[in-house]
Amino acid sequence: MQSSKFGTAPVFFTAISTILGAIMFLRFGFSVGTVGLMGTIGIIIIGHAVTIPTAMAIAEIATNQKVEGGGEYYIISRSFGLVIGSTIGIALYLSQAISVAFYIIAFTEAFKPFFDFLFSKFIFVPWLDWLLHQMQFVAVPALIILTSVVLSKGAQLGVKALYVVVVTLIFSLIAFFLGEPVSSDIVPQKESVLSHPSFFTVFAIIFPAFTGMTAGVGLSGDLKNPGKSIPLGTLAATICGMLIYILMAYKLSISASPEQLADTNNLVMSDIAIQGWWIIPLGLAAATISSALGSLMVAPRTLQAISRDNVIPIGKINTWLSLGRGQNDEPYNASLITVIIALFFIMMGALDAVAEVISIFFMVTYGSLCLISFFQHFAADPSYRPKFKSKWYISLFGAFACFGLMFFMNPGYALGALILILGLYFVISYFNKDKKNIALIFQGVIFQVSRKIHVFLQKSDKEASKSWRPSAIFLSQNSFKRHDSFNLTRWISHKYGFGTYIHHIDGYLSKQSHLEALQAKNRLIKIADISKSEVYVDAIVNSSFKDSINQVIQLPSISGTENNLMLLDYNRSQVQELDVIIENFKLISAVKFDIGILATSERQYGLQKEIHIWITRKDFDNANLMILIAYVISAHPDWKGGHIKVFSIFPQDSIENEKERLLNLVSAGQLPISLNNIEFLIREEADDSKAIIKERSMDADLLILGFLSEELKHNGPEVFAGYDGLCNILFVNTEEGKEIK
């Protein structure tokens, strides 16, 4: 069992001691000397345009949910889902681990005045002189000692040390602000390595000075009330740090020349401050060692939280990294990995380069946190009720600022970070297929977008466009006996239209039949997923198929536009299935639906290459709808390489007019039919149209024929008979002629 938790003060002190840290002492003068007072204030403003929205986002999210161990990682993973969350979490962990190296390297700068004094007073043998000049001479032992302290004493020691650090920082800042301008006689030791850096290069180096505001979030698992402590501590530290930096920029600008400030080899603050020769190095040492201490506490906890979510591909590694020791569950093994990473970057020894890497990874994390806040606002989830509320446009601005600034700061590092994150995502996603890639936050956003689109489409002027597109609803009771009807629905809804497929279940609605309907719906969803279709599926329970027809034709369209095409099916070898369709034909046509009746056969859709359309004088009004449906179906990849062939059967006296009409449409490019695929047939009175169709279309893969309401009324099932041995046939009827545009 864990011991007592912390309050708000540790969050504030952890954040402010990290904000007022290495960059403030070592590179803030460099910024003022390089880009000037206004340029530095611009950097402060731009930097806080990122950190303040992020601080507000963290405060908002933390007051809505219980923030457990892992801090920022916990927030991201529980909002974006474990796959995306752990991907960003690993990037966050790397930035925290590299930060350890960054602060240790900066810590060694505090010893520079001491070693300069030694070299001026004593002469050393060459190898010792070389060793003492190496930054690693101090950095590596400091890392080892600090790690030992953290592992043996834990977070409690770190929090106690914060108070000493803050007091030291206060004295350092007072000494600095009370100091006198530097004498113009003091000249830079040598020219700065970065003599003419760009504004955004300086920004990338300075930005880590503003990132400390999230340091306290990493203690979330050790706080009594994270929902209260994180917002108060984080926002207070952010605003306090911004004000101090603005005052510092002004003080530096009036206290030293640009050349003196731009010299990265000189700790210019020590020249300005009262007793600066020892107070400023002491403040630098205190600030950097506390920041390193904070990073050493936070980074292993992030890695421990990631491993406990079991997202790392090798299970034994998850188990090993997740192990904690002692009553406070100290992440011992995760700390060892963190030290190894830090040691690698310490050996590199380039402070400015490490600062740029950290900035990029922090930008990814901050952008993600702002996106979460924005999505939560947009999703309008009733369960999202934070005590502290930011504004959606502030969060959106913060997200854009983060991802945009990445490429302004260092395009190479930014691209490398994105490649790394994408690689991590695909690896984690591959090995964690059971975990959701899209969390509830995205579902909420999709819901809101869908809702607004539906309302817009319903309110829009339906007369604005005369062009026809199918909004088809297919009702079938044979969904799992044959897939012909489902395939037709997915072809129609692939590109140009929208399809709803509903499975009918005979019976009365009860707990058992409702469960059966859910199972059928899940089966259909699986079929839709496997076939990569864009069909909305459902199941309905009714005492008769007739009742389901009556109910379905009154359903509102899922697409937001009215349903306009009703599709039904029957097996040509089981004519009794056709009877219920004919009985309800008048009901369906009464609500102005176009109607398609799919007559299935053993040949099904054959090779899916040829669609034959047969146009006769009797179904002249159906011709355009038949052509449009064929065109929509042929756009599906299943029919790739196929073609549409039109047969037009008319008496001698009208065939020339019909021929001219079709040829005009084709020549205008409005029909995807080659002139060679249109055949005009003269029908004599004694000729049997069905016999001609059987002869010409025996090898077709789908036939589309028209039929008239009056014909069905007088002849009944005979309208659909006489096509034995042919492929599936779609019989089409429209009450209103369609215009092909």
Per-residue DSSP letter, 737:
P
What span, in angstroms and rounded, lies between the C-alpha atoms of 660 and 723?
A: 29
* DSSP β-bridge partners for residue 678: 646
d(CA 569, CA 546): 13
Which of 13-22, 400-409, 439-448, 618-627 tops mean pLDDT? 400-409
Q: Which residue has the higher pLDDT, 242 or 622?
A: 242
First to last CA, the chain: 74
Residue with tokens 């690693």, as numbered in its chain = 136
User: DSSP class of residue 493?
Assistant: T
Average pLDDT over residues 362-389: 78
- The 10 Å Cβ neighbour count of residue 436 is 14
Query: Could you give the angle at which helices 226-255 and 9-19 cross, rounded to 10 degrees?
Result: 30
- Asked whether the predicted pLDDT for residue 489 surpasses 80, the reply is yes
**CA 119/CA 128 separation, integer angstroms:** 11
Closest C-alpha to 398, from 371, 361, 376:
371
> What's the pLDDT band for 193 if we cut at 50, 70, 90?
very low
What pLDDT is recorded for position 178? 93
Alpha-carbon span 97 to 93, nearest angstrom: 6
Q: Which of 208-222, 492-506, 627-641, 694-708 has the lowest mean pLDDT?
A: 208-222
Quick one: pLDDT at residue 731?
A: 93
For residue 661, count other CB atoms closer than 10 A to its CB.
Answer: 11
Q: Check pLDDT > 70 for residue 580.
A: yes
The contacts of residue 476 (CB under 8 Å, 6+ apart) are: 485, 486, 501, 502, 503, 504, 568, 569
Provide the pLDDT for residue 685.
59
Give pLDDT tens digits for 406-417: 888 888 888 888
Across 512-537, average pLDDT = 88
10 Å Cβ neighbour count for 291?
29
What's the chain's average pLDDT? 80
Domains of the chain: 9-431 (1.20.1740.10), 467-501+545-557+564-733 (no CATH)
Quote the pLDDT of residue 120. Answer: 62
Condensed to tens digits (0 to 9), the pLDDT of residues 4-63 reads 567 778 788 877 877 887 888 888 899 999 999 999 999 999 999 888 898 888 778 777
Gyration radius of the chain's alpha carbons: 37
| Residues 558-584 as b or e (16 or more Cβ within 10 Å = b) | bbbbebbbbbbbbbbeeeebbebbbeb
Separation CA 407–CA 397 (nearest Å): 16
Say how far apart CA 59 and CA 231 lie, in whole Å. Answer: 4
- Bridge partners (DSSP) of residue 569 are 598
Per-residue burial over 443-474, b if 16 or more Cβ lie within 10 Å, else e, is ebbeebeeeeebeeeeeeeeeeeeebbbbbbb
Pick from 477, 470, 509, 476: nearest CA to 492: 470
Q: In degrees, to the nearest 5, what angle opens at C-alpha 697 toward C-alphas 694 and 699?
A: 115
User: Which tops the pLDDT comparison, 223 or 374?
Assistant: 374
Between residues 229 and 456, the one the model is more confident about: 229
Q: What is the structure's pLDDT at 134?
A: 56
Alpha-carbon distance 145 to 662, whole Å?
88
pTM of the model: 0.65
3-state secondary structure labels for all residues of 116-178:
HHHHHHCCCCHHHHHHHCCCHHHHHHHHHHHHHHHHHHCHHHHHHHHHHHHHHHHHHHHHHHC
pLDDT tens figures, 554-578:
877 766 677 888 899 988 888 788 8
Cβ atoms 276, 270 nearer than 8 A: yes
Element (H, E) at 644: strand 643-650
CA gap 220, 467 in Å, rounded: 58
Taking only the tens place, the pLDDT of each residue in 201-236 is 899 888 888 877 766 665 666 677 777 787 888 888
Residues 82, 159: Cα–Cα separation, whole Å: 30
Query: Residue 697: pLDDT above 60?
Result: yes
Cβ atoms of 375 and 445 closer than 8 Å: yes
Integer angstrom CA distances of residue 393 from 179, 368, 441: 42, 15, 17
Task: Check residue 669 and give its pLDDT.
Answer: 54
Q: Say whether 502 sits in a helix, a strand or coil.
A: strand
Stretch 178-198: mean pLDDT: 65
Per-residue model confidence (pLDDT) at position 254: 92
